[in-house]
Amino acid sequence: MANFILSSFADEASPMLDEQFEASKAHGFTHIEVRGVDEKNMADYSVDQAKEIARRFEAAGIQVSALGSPFGKIDITADFEPHAEYMKKGLEIANILGTKRVRLFSFFMPKGEDPAVYREEVFARMDKMADLCKQAGLLCCHENEKDIYGDTIDRTLDLLKTFEGRIVGVFDPANFIQCGQDTWQAWQTLAPYIDYIHIKDCKADGTIMPAGRGIGHIPDIIRAYGQKDGDRFITLEPHLMEFTGLQGLEKDDVSNMHHEFTFENNRQSFDYAANSLKEIMASVLSE
């Protein structure tokens, strides 16, 4: 049985790290999947700056579950070599922060084109990224994300089977829904390859919802995930309102995103999402 460990993208509570620590502790989250720190992507800091940030994590008593990097979130037609160099520094930062996991992606596909055309190039790049992670002693974790090669069940399975033992999966239910995929089918297909999960629910029309309010089968997935052995991360990713750094993570204009809930600020939206997840966790664990 799994020992669940709760983490979050706490930059959705606040762009400022000290406030991220406060929000995490308020909900009993012991870890952060670090992404935005003091209004800047963690991968963009220098090594010396990363060492100081690591000291702040240690002083706060919060650990890093993964580096929520932007690696692989570039167009497949863009030059890869500068991105690979950027990734090398990011992997050094991950080690400084004391995590063994690096979340990454399988490249944006040109709109209107068949992703199968780019399979060979995607896999050549993923091979390089997996090697870089191995050399750094880190676990290469691929997240299904809309508009990348690994956005559907079949293509994600293709990638994770091909790189089994070198690349593991990060399972994001909402991203599958936004690509027209059934999340329970996705889980049943991909579960053997999944290392950890993101909690982000969604309606059929693509609207992001708190856990349990969409069609993501969140309770069922957590229940099934609990059958895995050992420590298992569950990382909250609210996305219930726009936050600092979101536009840099998305290919499309985020100002057009529809949100069903209205919040006064990001901390309020984070609290709502965290409480929704904790309600589901309490229900599942009491069974």
Query: For residue 89, is pLDDT > 70?
Result: yes
Band of pLDDT at residue 246, cut at 50, 70 and 90: low
SS3 228: coil
**DSSP element (H, E) containing 39:** none
| DSSP string over 118-162 | GHHHHHHHHHHHHHHHHHTT-EEEEEP-TTBGGGSHHHHHHHHHH
Query: For residue 82, is pLDDT > 90?
Result: yes
Average pLDDT of the residues in 91-101:
98
CA distance 176 to 156: 10
Query: For residue 251, is pLDDT > 70?
Result: no
Nearest in space to 269 (alpha carbons), one of 209, 220, 226, 213: 209
Please enumerate in sequence order all residues whose Cβ is within 8 A of that of 189, keeping only pairs 6 or more positions apart, or say none.
153, 157
Band of pLDDT at residue 22, cut at 50, 70 and 90: very high
Average pLDDT of the residues in 121-126:
98
36 — phi, psi (to 5°)?
Answer: -95, 130
The DSSP output letter for 284 is H
Average pLDDT, the chain: 94
Residues 130-179: pLDDT tens digits? 999 999 999 999 999 999 999 999 999 999 999 999 999 999 999 999 99
**DSSP element (H, E) containing 172:** none
CA distance 156 to 168: 10
| Predicted local confidence at residue 260, as pLDDT | 80
* 195 alpha carbon, distance to own chain's centre: 11
Average pLDDT of the residues in 187-211:
97
Band of pLDDT at residue 249, cut at 50, 70 and 90: low
CA distance 201 to 36: 21
| Predicted local confidence at residue 148, as pLDDT | 98
89 with 47: CB under 8 angstroms?
yes
Q: Please give the C-alpha separations between residue 49 and each of 15, 37, 103, 136, in angstroms, as whole numbers.
A: 17, 11, 21, 19
| Predicted local confidence at residue 248, as pLDDT | 57
Tokens of 103: 């979340």
| Predicted local confidence at residue 244, as pLDDT | 64
CA distance 225 to 129: 27
Query: For residue 91, is pLDDT > 60?
Result: yes
| Predicted local confidence at residue 1, as pLDDT | 87
- Under CATH, to which class is 2-285 assigned? alpha beta
Which of 150-159, 237-246, 266-275 comes out lowest in average pLDDT? 237-246
Q: Enter the pTM of the model.
A: 0.94
Average pLDDT of the residues in 207-214:
95
138 with 91: CB under 8 angstroms?
yes
| Percentage, residues of the chain above pLDDT 90 | 91
| Predicted local confidence at residue 243, as pLDDT | 75
CA distance 267 to 53: 21
